[in-house]
Each structure stands twice: as C-alpha cells, then as structure tokens.
Amino acid sequence: MAPPLLLLQDVSISLGSTRLLGGAGLAVAAGDRLCLVGRNGSGKSTLLKIAAGLLTQDDGSRFVQPGATIRYLPQEPDLSGYDSTLSYVLSGLGPGDDAHRARTLLSQLGLSGEEDPARLSGGEARRCALARVLAPVPDILLLDEPTNHLDLPAIEWLQDELAGLRSGLVLISHDRRLLEALSRAVIWLDRGTTRRLDRGFAHFEGWRDATLEQEEREHQKLGRRIAAEEDWLRYGVTARRRRNQRRLGELHAMRTRRREQLRTVGQVKLAAAQGELSGRLVIAAEGLEKSLGGRRLVHGFGTRVLRGDRVGIVGPNGAGKTTLLRLLTGGLPPDVGEVRLGTALQVVTLDQQRASLDPTRSLADTLTGGGDDRVIVNGESRHVVSYMKDFLFAPEQARTPVGVLSGGERGRLMLACALARPANLLVLDEPTNDLDLETLDLLQELLAEHPGTVLLVSHDRDFLDRVVTATIAAEGDGRWVEYAGGYSDMLAQRAPATEPARPPRASPRSAPPPRPTTPDRRLSFKQLHALRTLPARIAALQQEADRLRGMLGDPDLYRRDAARFASASEALQAAERELADSEETWLTLELLREDIEGT
C-alpha cells in the first residue's frame, strides 16, 4: 500500500458546545479515489477544511508529505477581490504550473476569462472555482459538493475530467452517479468518527445497513437503551432504503403504463399533484411559444399532464427549464399557444433560492408559523417535534435558529414547510441542492407516497431515475421532447446526433405494432360536436363550482340559512361530478382525435 500524502489521525473538534468530530481519521495516497459521506451536519465539510489546512483541530494530528500539493474546492467559493474570472483562476497556480491549461479549462467550462466575478450566477461561479482547483493538477484534490449549481452537461464533463486525472481525490457529493463512477473507497463519517470501506460507493449502502444492523443487535445484547429519536434518525435509513427499493419496482410499472400512453397518442406531456383530488387532466398545453430577451426558449411545445404523473424537466443552464415550468403552471403567459389548468388544483412550489427562510426564527417557529407547537399536515394536527423527526431533525434542534443550519438542513426545512401545505400539484425546482444521500432517500420516499402530480427540475441523474415517470428534455433552439422513464431511459431513447431530428417515440426498443389499415377512421358528428362544445361547458362548470365554494366559504351561512347551505353543498358536489365527467370525456375524445390524425 502506498504511503499517504495526507494523514489525519484521531481528529477532534467542537463548534461551541457541540462536539462535531471525535477521533476521526483520513488517509489519502497518490491516485486514491475516496468519497466522504455522512448526514448533513455530521462534519464532512469541517473534516475536509481540516484536511486542507483551513481549520485547526482541537485534538489529533495532521500530516502532509513534504512537497505534496493540495487544492480545495469549498461549497461556496469566494471570488471577491478579483477583476476577472481569469485572474481568479491564475491566482491558484503555483510555480511551474501551466497558465495555458487554466485558459483551456475556462473555455471548456463555457467561460471566456473576461467575466466580472461579482456578476456571475451560482453555476458560473462554481465552474470558475473548478477551473482554479483543476488547473494546477495537484497531488490531492479536496472537492466539497462540486456539482452544486452545475447543469447536466457540466456534470458529465466534470466526471470525465476527474476520471482522467492522476491526482488523489476526496469527494463530498450527493450525486450518486458521480460517486459510483469515481470512487474506489468510501469514508463514512458517523457520530463524529470515521469508518472506511475499501470498495466503491456502489457497495456502500448495503455495507452501511449491515453495519448498523450489527450495531443494533450488539446494543440489544448488552441491554443498552437506545433513545427512540436516535433509533429513528440512525437506523430508520435502512428501512427507508428497503421501501425505496420496492417502490422502484412500482415506478417501473408506472413507466410502462406511460410508455403505452405515448404509443397510443403520440407526443404527450405530464405532471401531478396532492391535496384535494384534482381532475384527471391537470395540464393541457398546445403549441406553446416563448421568447425572452430575444432568445427563443420554447418552440411548438404541447403536452397533457395527467393526475398522478411525476415529470422531470432537464437541460443545460439557460435552456429555459424554469420558464417552461412557469408556462405549464400558469405563472407565465405564452407568446403563442394555450395552457389550460385542471380543476381544484392546489399548487405548492419549492424554488431553488430558499429565500423565504428567516434566519432569525427558530426551526419550530418556521414550521408552525410562530403559533403553538402544532403543525397541520394533510388535515391532521401533529406536534412539531414529531413532524421534525420525519425530516431527520433531532428534538433538541426545535429552538435552533435557521441561520445556523447547514445548507442541507435548510433544504430539508424547506421541504418540510412545503410538504406540510395541502397540495395536489407539487412544483419542485432543483429540490436536491445541498441534500445529503439519506435526505434524498427521504425525499424519494415522500414523492413516492404523494398521491398527486409532481413537476420536477433537477440535474441529479440518479434521483431522476428513481422518481420520475417521464422526462422532458431540452433539444436546442427551444425544442422540448418528452421521453417515457427517467434520465437513463431518455439517453437510451434519444436518436443519435448524426441522424436528422425526428418526432419522439415512446421506446425505440419496443416499437408499437402497426396500426390497422382502416382507410376511413373518423370521429362521428356527435363526437365532433362534443369536442367543440365541451371546453365552454367545462369553463362554465368551473365558474359555477368557484361561485359555490365562495358561498360555502362564508362562516355564517349555515347559522343564517341551513337549508341554503345544504342546497349549495349538494349543488357543488353535482357540479364537481359533472366537471370531472366532462373533462374525462373531452380528454378521451381529444386523444382519439390525435390518434386518428396521426394515422
């Protein structure tokens, strides 16, 4: 075994009164490929900063082989004080390093070198910081969440670049696909100490589960009491992972049904929700066009989003993913085309900025709105501490100010706030940023249990494969194409770049059987009449249902006129039934019309 270039032994450190690390270790030799994993707040970033020499441990030792070079990428790079991105990258070079490589890396990452660091987006700042640490080709690279804010092309470029380096690598990331591709050993940071698995990340979760189960058996044999909170926070991950493995099978069945729909009706698009039951049709979009700042972001896009679907939207930064999301949910009017939203929609949106969190408020106050210690979830009153535990917060964190939470903990808190609100359409824009692997498992479980529709923008390839039933991908120049299944399914179905663009098909691997050669398939006069008249009838029923809901929203109506209250309630139920039936009929006829015209 090669001698380590970097060695941490029995490292301990406390932040305030909290002991974060106690007896942790890390050994990195030339060419090592290590991933450092652990729950948000467990001290991964702190251990990496100690390894980089930016923090001094309270106890233990740090050794670096004389002459060895180390470069460190923080989660939030500081580019202040530099007049251009090139000057920032060049400042990271040492004697004898190649300035030409710095310029080449910037170009490969889509930067000219002339950009003002103060005006960079999060993704541009991350790409610039990557160029700075990669340019010197150091002996050891310490990377803390390098894929945060990167789009899929940049993530795939980074994966290829790191795979070709000779540097020793220590990587913190929530991107399972990246960890599986690059790691040869895993350092697991748990309760302040580290354990090492000399196999890649693909073997980690099974090893971790077996380790925790053995530890639990030993605790029981020794007669030690394990607090219920600790038991859930520590050992519950095993049960969640097993449930998620089962749900992957259910997801495959949903994708098969979606593939059959695509075969039947051609190009269709989806999204789903929770709260009150929405109509079967959640979103119907036809011929959408949208340009912003002279750039065409959406061109000729149409879709049907049905209740219960989970749809991922993917593409490079700047392709228009958020714009498409806002078009589909009615937050932005199209230049051309039409979007019709289903009935009784309750939309909850989680954006990637997390700006709604007040750093001075406690975690409990944020969840309860500053009221008592109860939170209403799906109509059920729950104690805030009980609800916190669902999102892997310990009870003693209830009074913790939001401002001291880690990035991943703030992400979990935003999820807890969003999912406590009644919704039948969840709109999630980059929900996986800063989340640790266990929280990603939790989010996957929550989305699997959600009875409504989900629209999801994400750059996490593995998460998309585990969650979505269909993927809408940017194909350039405002074109968006839907594919049945997750990210890997999309790659398998995409036509080779050398072939001319063709209309999407559900699955080239299993083409639909040829249509019957009936020369005169057509809609009847009654069906054509229904197609023309049903949209107006649906709009009238929606207005009537809204009017009746407004009437029943009067808290004094029942006391003033009980008979009128009962009559309005019955009328609302009848209107909602007729509305659902009308939507179902219109959708069936519309799909039949598209099928006939496609023939």
Q: DSSP assignment of 232-275, as one string? A: IIIIHHHHHHHHHHHHHHHHHHHHHHHHHHHHHHSS-------S
Q: What does pLDDT average to over the chain?
A: 81
> Which residue do the tokens 């997750």 mark?
486
Of 437, 468, 430, the closest CA to residue 248 belongs to 468
206-215 contact pairs (CB < 8 A, 24+): 208/237, 209/237, 209/238, 209/241, 212/237, 212/238, 213/238
Residue 465 · residue 458 · CB < 8 Å:
no
What is the rounded CA–CA span in Å between residue 503 and residue 549? 43
Of the two residues 61 and 232, the one the predictor is more confident about is: 61
The pLDDT assigned to 520 comes to 53
Residue 28 · residue 16 · CB < 8 Å:
no
Give me the percent of the chain exceeding a pLDDT of 90. Answer: 36
Q: Judging by beta carbons within 10 Å of its beta carbon (0-12, 13-18, 19+), is residue 400 exposed, middle or buried?
A: middle
What is the rounded CA–CA span in Å between residue 123 and residue 477? 21
Contacts of 70 (CB under 8 A, 6+ apart): 6, 51, 52, 53, 64, 138, 139, 140, 141, 142
The pLDDT assigned to 321 comes to 92
pLDDT tens readout for residues 235-287 = 455 555 555 555 666 666 666 665 655 444 333 222 233 334 456 788 889 89
Segment among 76-85, 147-156, 578-587 with least mean pLDDT: 578-587
Q: What element of type H or E holds 193?
A: strand 193-197
Number of CB atoms found within 10 A of residue 175's CB: 26
Number of CB atoms found within 10 A of residue 112's CB: 11
Of 57, 45, 48, 38, the closest CA to residue 189 belongs to 38
227-231, 296-300, 429-433, range with greatest mean pLDDT: 296-300
Q: Which two tokens stand for residue 279?
A: 């109509």
pLDDT tens readout for residues 496-544 = 543 443 433 333 333 333 444 444 567 787 888 888 888 888 888 888 8
Number of CB atoms found within 10 A of residue 50's CB: 21
Q: What three-state secondary structure class fits 287? A: strand
The pLDDT assigned to 379 comes to 67
Contacts of 573 (CB under 8 A, 6+ apart): none
Mean pLDDT score, 427-444: 81
**pLDDT higher than 70, residue 291:** yes
235 — phi, psi (to 5°)? -100, -15
The pLDDT assigned to 298 comes to 95
Q: What three-state secondary structure class fits 485? A: coil
Q: How many CA atoms lie within 13 A of 578 on its CB side?
A: 17
Which domains are seen in the chain, by residue range? Answer: 4-211 (3.40.50.300), 249-346+423-509 (3.40.50.300), 353-421 (no CATH), 525-598 (1.10.287)
The pLDDT assigned to 1 comes to 62
The pLDDT assigned to 276 comes to 42
The pLDDT assigned to 506 comes to 36
What is the rounded CA–CA span in Å between residue 384 and residue 435? 21
Cα radius of gyration (the chain): 27
Give me the percent of the chain exceeding a pLDDT of 70. Answer: 83
DSSP state of 231: I
Q: Are strands 310-314 and 453-457 parallel, antiparallel or unpaired?
A: parallel
Of the two residues 556 and 28, the one the predictor is more confident about is: 28
pLDDT tens readout for residues 409-432 = 787 888 888 877 778 888 988 888
Of 369, 442, 447, 384, the closest CA to residue 409 belongs to 442
Sheet containing 479-484: order of strands: 347-350, 425-429, 453-457, 310-314, 470-476, 479-484
**pLDDT higher than 90, residue 293:** no
Neighbouring-strand partners of residue 290: 298
**pLDDT higher than 60, residue 204:** yes
> Which residue do the tokens 């995409």 mark?
494
The pLDDT assigned to 509 comes to 33
Q: Which two tokens stand for residue 307?
A: 């209740």
pLDDT tens readout for residues 388-410 = 887 878 888 888 888 888 777 78
Residue 56 · residue 50 · CB < 8 Å:
yes
Q: Judging by beta carbons within 10 Å of its beta carbon (0-12, 13-18, 19+), is residue 212 exposed, middle or buried?
A: middle
Of the two residues 37 and 371, the one the predictor is more confident about is: 37
The pLDDT assigned to 348 comes to 84
Residue 540 · residue 343 · CB < 8 Å:
no
pLDDT tens readout for residues 448-468 = 777 789 999 999 999 998 889
**pLDDT higher than 80, residue 331:** yes
DSSP state of 277: P
**pLDDT higher than 90, residue 49:** yes
Of 269, 175, 251, 237, the closest CA to residue 462 belongs to 175
